[in-house]
Amino acid sequence: MSVPPTAGGVAAAMPTAPPEPGVMERGLWRYSRHPNYFFEWLHWFTYVLLAVGSPLWWLAWSGPLVMYLFLRYLSGVPFTEKQALRSRGEDYRDYQRSTPMFFPWFPRTSPSQDRTP
């Protein structure tokens, strides 16, 4: 029972910095606009592996399928994309043109390299 208060105390003690202007293009965000959603979806395949040997193992495939549909079309990506366009504007539109939406892959071009100062 001490984990939530400890975690909250650690989070409160962490220094905060103002958000950087523009779009996050470092780390995993260089390869996918939504790496958190991608890895959330990917972890559902663990349940497919855990179900192997069960008489109804094939039903475990519904987890990754349903999560993909929810994350990609219903709850995750659409709302995040709309919010990012509202708050980041043209910077995010450039990022959309160069970075895959869901499945990580190499960027087409670096938006920061295309911009003129």
CA distance 19 to 12: 17
Model's pTM, two decimal places?
0.73
The reported pLDDT for the residue numbered 13 is: 61
Tens digits of residue pLDDT in 23-52: 888 999 999 999 999 999 999 999 999 999
Tens digits of residue pLDDT in 72-116: 999 999 999 999 999 999 999 999 999 999 999 999 875 455 554
- How many beta carbons lie within 10 A of that of residue 46, not counting itself? 12
The reported pLDDT for the residue numbered 49 is: 95
Angle between helices 62-69 and 35-43 (to 10 degrees): 160
- Dihedral of CA atoms 74, 77, 82, 84 in degrees, nearest 10, equals 160
Residue 56's alpha-carbon distances to 62, 63, 69, 113, in angstroms, are 11, 13, 22, 51
- How many beta carbons lie within 10 A of that of residue 83, not counting itself? 11
- How many beta carbons lie within 10 A of that of residue 92, not counting itself? 20
